[in-house]
Amino acid sequence: MRKHPLSDRRARHDPAYLRAKAENYAGRAIYKLQEIDRKFRLIRHRGRVLDLGCWPGSWLQYVGERIGDEGFALGIDLDEVEIGLPSNIETRVGDVEKLNCDVLVERYGVFDVVLSDMAPNTTGIREADQWRSEELFLVALKVALAVLRPGGHFAAKVFQGGRFPDLLRAVRAGFEECKPFRPDGTRPGSLEQYVVGKSRRRS
């Protein structure tokens, strides 16, 4: 359930990877979130953001730039985020699938945005990887519905498979708008897709 670093020879020549390294970001995924945010306007100044599956921390770096010193962000991942982040951004080592949302809200309050770039440790078996990714997406959606304020936003990654229409229906049930989106930075042939839910419905 972590985003693995690019390590093979091809990846080291990837333009987005090289750009991220030159700009001191923890990973190329920052540009995907940047593109999502520019299109859907999810993250605002002084906002409160929860980042699920936050390692290695590039999304939190982007979030920090957007929310400013008066916002707050919390990142959760199985692996420790080792990069330096502003004092108003907190990270926790933990399993998102075991997250107690009531305790989370009691401690931190509700959030304006929930993000998830969670992905399974891939097996190379396409159907199995898709199914596991869909399960992680549903976990992220469940957390979002539990911790978002009314009107809050959600964006999460999934490897698009046979249950994709069901996932879209699940998001539509909880949000006023639901849009699938494939960032330009996605590699050709990738099953990766993002789903954005805007404006959490009131319970």
Tell me which residue range forms the domain holding 146: 9-200
pLDDT bracket for residue 63 (50, 70, 90):
very high
Residue 114 within any structural domain of the chain: yes
Residue 2 within any structural domain of the chain: no
Instruction: Give the integer Cα–Cα distance in Å for 144 and 129.
Output: 23
Residue 19 within any structural domain of the chain: yes
Report the CATH number at residue 193: 3.40.50.150
Residue 1 within any structural domain of the chain: no
Instruction: Give the integer Cα–Cα distance in Å for 12 and 112.
Output: 35
Residue 107 within any structural domain of the chain: yes
Give yes or no: 3 in active site.
Answer: no
Residue 3 within any structural domain of the chain: no
pLDDT value of residue 13: 59
pLDDT, tens digit (0-9, with 9 covering 90-100), for 118-149: 999 999 999 999 999 999 999 999 999 999 99
Residue 4 within any structural domain of the chain: no
The tokens describing 152, both together, are 């809050």
Residue 155 within any structural domain of the chain: yes
pLDDT value of residue 27: 81
Q: What is the mean pLDDT of the chain?
A: 92
Instruction: Give the integer Cα–Cα distance in Å for 33 and 29.
Output: 7
Domain count, the chain: 1
What string of H, E and C letters represents the secondary structure of the chain?
Answer: CCCCCCCCHHHHCCHHHHHHHHCCCCCCCHHHHHHHHHHHCCCCCCCEEEEECCCCCHHHHHHHHHHCCCCEEEEEECCCCCCCCCCCEEEEECCHHHCCHHHHHHHHCCEEEEEECCCCCCCCCHHHHHHHHHHHHHHHHHHHHHHEEEEEEEEEEEECCCCHHHHHHHHHHHEEEEEEECCCCCCCCCCEEEEEEEEECCC
pLDDT at 26 over 60: yes
Find the angle CA(120)-CA(122)-CA(125) to the nearest 5 degrees: 125
Neighbours of 71 (CB within 10 A): 20
pLDDT value of residue 11: 53
pLDDT, tens digit (0-9, with 9 covering 90-100), for 183-198: 987 888 889 999 999 9
Q: In DSSP terms, which residues pair with 144 in a beta bridge?
A: none
Q: Which of 3, 98, 142, 157 is catalytic?
A: 157
Looking at 18-22, 40-44, 77-81, 106-110, which range is the least confident one? Answer: 18-22
Query: How far is Cα of residue 131 from the mean position of the Cα atoms in its chain?
Result: 18
